[in-house]
């Protein structure tokens, strides 16, 4: 029998340490629960509402449930106690991230979340890096489709380097059926969005100039607008970048802004919608330009294997130490992307020789 490599042998291990999922009854939270179970981890379901937790599918009836709000730090610590890691899926993260992350640190648990909100990531980096190092745990915000995926792609392209002159990130969706959590976050998140300009974080020009991006299949040529998410903050945290521009195709943005656009509905046995996405990354350093693309299905569903891949690596020690860190900073980006290709419906292609037009 062929000897399994280290990554495969670690993936085959069963980890009994419980992982607390806050916002377990939400749309993304349910995908995270399923992914934790599939990876051999033990989820503990937590949230602000007993009624919401009662709606978790019957197949999870045997899983422990813990009800707690975010306004009682002592109770929150008691609820988190015993967990090896906490995954926060409960937005708006402007409300939940800091209280839950502090409770995790004080209980000796790693913390991850799926936020797309730039101010949240900034606050976690600013306020919890030193406490996380002291507690010997990691705080990894934005380990998800927004934020983490682009950060991992950029880091893998740099292949050990830490500098880029220019980075363009183009996110394209064939549809955007927003969840109630996405809509609530949009109402709360009114902060000025940031890009990287002249090597530092700077406000996005308002209004952001439109443009065109030539996405790989299935999207093709699309009208886009600059709309940065949490990837700008994660990348700035650990890489030296001259200019970073982040785009979203305008068709999906219009759907998001339309109050009549329905929520996502299940189109397969896993509960995923039929939405398709493309994340196209172009990195220029000196005379060299690299382009890598990730394609897949359902931006909410794909966040589950991304954040769970992070949790698995934190629990088995495949990370670079404690502190508040970006996904590509605390993990081996290429190894995480390889893990996602094994465990998720995602395709990552190096398109360096196929042009980098936008």
- Show me where the domains of the chain are located: 6-144+304-332, 145-299+335-354
CA–CA dist 264, 228 (Å, integer): 23
CA–CA dist 344, 159 (Å, integer): 23
User: What's the pTM value of the predicted model, to 2 decimals?
Assistant: 0.94
Kindly tell me if the per-residue pLDDT of 129 is higher than 90: yes
CA–CA dist 339, 344 (Å, integer): 8
Token pair recorded at residue 300: 């909410």
64 touches 44 (CB < 8 A): yes
Token pair recorded at residue 35: 């992914």
Alpha helices in the chain (DSSP H): 6-12, 27-38, 50-53, 73-80, 93-106, 118-135, 150-158, 180-188, 231-238, 250-257, 299-315, 327-330, 333-343
Q: So what's the pLDDT on residue 358?
A: 42
Token pair recorded at residue 314: 């934190």
Is residue 108 packed enough to be buried (19+ CB in 10 Å), middle (13-18) or exposed (0-12)? middle
Strands 110-113 and 85-88, sheet pairing: parallel
119 touches 45 (CB < 8 A): no
Going by C-beta distance under 8 Å and a sequence separation of 6 or more, which residues neighbour residue 257? none
Q: Rounded to 5 degrees, what are φ and ψ at 20?
A: -80, 125
Kindly tell me if the per-residue pLDDT of 7 is higher than 70: no
Determine the average pLDDT of the residues in 95-107. 97
Kindly tell me if the per-residue pLDDT of 330 is higher than 50: yes
CA–CA dist 20, 79 (Å, integer): 9
CATH superfamily of 145-299+335-354: Dihydrodipicolinate Reductase; domain 2 (3.30.360.10)
Token pair recorded at residue 43: 């989820």
Token pair recorded at residue 70: 């975010």
Q: So what's the pLDDT on residue 208?
A: 81
63 touches 45 (CB < 8 A): yes
Q: Tell me the torsion sign for CA atoms 317, 320, 325, 327.
A: negative
Determine the average pLDDT of the residues in 276-292. 97
Residue with tokens 């830490």: 162
Q: So what's the pLDDT on residue 310?
A: 98
- Please write the tens of the pLDDT for every residue from 293-325: 999 999 999 999 999 999 999 999 999 999 999
Determine the average pLDDT of the residues in 136-148. 98
Q: Tell me the torsion sign for CA atoms 30, 52, 113, 6.
A: negative
Token pair recorded at residue 51: 């009624």
C-alpha closest to that of 44 among 311, 309, 313: 311
Dihedral angle over CA of 95, 127, 117, 320, nearest 10: -120
CA–CA dist 169, 151 (Å, integer): 10
Q: So what's the pLDDT on residue 16?
A: 63
Q: Tell me the torsion sign for CA atoms 292, 298, 300, 303.
A: negative
Q: What is the CATH number of domain 6-144+304-332?
A: 3.40.50.720
Helices 93-106 and 118-135: crossing angle, nearest 10°?
Answer: 0
Q: So what's the pLDDT on residue 207?
A: 82
CA–CA dist 107, 78 (Å, integer): 8
83 touches 107 (CB < 8 A): yes
CA–CA dist 211, 164 (Å, integer): 22
Kindly tell me if the per-residue pLDDT of 355 is higher than 90: no
Q: So what's the pLDDT on residue 194?
A: 97
- Helix H or strand E encompassing 282: strand 276-285
| Mean pLDDT, all residues of the chain | 93
Determine the average pLDDT of the residues in 243-258. 97
Q: In this prediction, what percent of the chain has a pLDDT beyond 70?
A: 94
Determine the average pLDDT of the residues in 166-176. 98
């Amino acid at each position: 029998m062929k000897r399994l490599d280290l990554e495969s042998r670690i993936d085959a291990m069963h980890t009994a340490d419980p992982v607390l999922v806050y916002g377990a009854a939400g749309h993304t939270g349910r995908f995270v629960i399923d992914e934790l179970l599939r990876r051999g981890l033990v989820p503990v379901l937590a949230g602000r509402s007993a009624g919401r937790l009662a709606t978790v599918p019957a197949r999870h009836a045997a899983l422990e449930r813990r009800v707690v709000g975010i306004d009682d730090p002592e109770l929150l610590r008691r609820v988190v106690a015993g967990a090896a890691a906490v995954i926060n899926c409960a937005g708006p993260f402007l409300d939940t991230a800091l209280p839950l992350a502090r409770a995790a640190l004080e209980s000796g648990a790693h913390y991850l979340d799926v936020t797309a909100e730039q101010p949240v990531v900034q606050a976690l980096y600013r306020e919890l890096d030193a406490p996380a190092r002291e507690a010997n745990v990691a705080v990894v915000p934005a380990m998800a489709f927004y934020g983490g995926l682009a950060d991992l792609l950029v880091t893998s392209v740099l292949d050990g380097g830490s500098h880029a002159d220019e980075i363009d990130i183009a996110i394209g969706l064939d549809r955007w059926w927003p969840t109630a959590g996405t809509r609530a976050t949009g109402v709360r998140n009114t902060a000025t969005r940031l890009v990287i300009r002249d090597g530092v974080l700077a406000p996005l020009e308002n209004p952001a100039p439109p443009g065109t991006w030539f996405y790989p299949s299935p999207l093709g040529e699309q009208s886009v607008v600059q709309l940065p998410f949490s990837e700008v903050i994660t990348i700035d945290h650990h890489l030296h970048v001259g200019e970073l521009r982040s785009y979203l195709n305008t068709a999906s943005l219009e759907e998001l802004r339309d109050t009549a656009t329905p929520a996502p509905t299940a189109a397969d046995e896993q509960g995923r919608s039929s939405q398709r996405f493309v994340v196209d990354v172009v990195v220029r350093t000196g005379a060299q330009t690299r382009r890598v693309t990730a394609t897949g299905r359902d931006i909410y569903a794909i966040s589950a294997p991304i954040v769970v891949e992070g949790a698995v690596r934190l629990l088995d020690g495949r990370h670079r130490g404690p502190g508040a860190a970006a996904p590509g900073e605390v993990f081996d980006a290429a190894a995480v992307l390889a893990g996602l290709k094994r465990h998720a419906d995602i395709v990552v292609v190096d398109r360096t020789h196929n042009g980098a037009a936008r």
